[in-house]
Structure 1
Amino acid sequence: MAPAQGWSVAEQDDDEGEFRSVDDPSVGLEVDVECVNGQPEITVAPAD
């Protein structure tokens, strides 16, 4: 999810962030990090 790969950080919070395509800002991914039963869990979904 690096600028060299065509992505930039659009929004950032303590436990989640949103990445947008550098070429097409309408394309985005939302990343959410949670702790479930003591294990990290990362969820990636299309951004709204």
Structure 2
Amino acid sequence: LPSKGRWSKLAGRIGDQYMMTVPITIYAGSSEIQRNIIAQRGLGLPRG
């Protein structure tokens, strides 16, 4: 079924949300890595 089709559940929003889960988790992981780098190199905090 097309994601915006008449017969798709919640007008395709479930499929759209599912497709966004991977980019969101990649983005969240990238942000955490950047915070760790700033903490270690910029602020001199211990690794961990």
Give TM-score scaled by structure 1 length. Answer: 0.17
Say which structure is richer in helix. Answer: 2
Which of 1 and 2 has higher RCO (CA within 8 Å, sep 6+)? 1
Say which structure is richer in strand. Answer: 1
Give TM-score scaled by structure 2 length. Answer: 0.17
Q: Which has the larger radius of gyration?
A: 2
